[in-house]
Amino acid sequence: MQLGRVVGHVVLSLKNDTLDGVTLLLVQPLSSLREPVGRVVVAADSVGSGTGEEVFFVRGKEASFPFHPTEVPADAGIVGIVDHWHIG
């Protein structure tokens, strides 16, 4: 998984049926120092996160698991909203 910040959302009018009702959010991956790392990704949200929140997201097929049994065609998915982290 990776840390990220929600920076926006994507609205689709024409989409794959299995994406119905799935919120797609723009996520900027972050380092633990809150610096942007790499490019923004579009991620399927299953935890009710919103713009400005710090989240963590999973990449790959596992992004669709929260929507089981629907096979959502996503390769990135937000799976948690961060309360805080602590660097040892």
Q: Smallest distance, Å, CB 13 to other proteins?
A: 27
Where does this chain touch other proteins (CB under 8 A) — which range of 7-15, 18-26, 77-85?
A: 77-85
Does 52 bind other proteins (CB under 8 A)? Our answer is: no
Is residue 77 a contact partner of residue 60, using CB atoms and an 8 Å limit? no
| Per-residue tokens: 47 | 């935890």
* Residues facing residue 10 across a β-bridge: 24
Contact positions with other proteins (CB under 8 A) in 11-50: 29, 31-32, 37-38, 46-49
Residue 70 amino acid letter: T
Is residue 77 a contact partner of residue 49, using CB atoms and an 8 Å limit? no
Per CB under 8 A, residues contacting other proteins are: 1-3, 29, 31-32, 37-38, 46-49, 56, 58-63, 65-66, 68, 77, 79-88
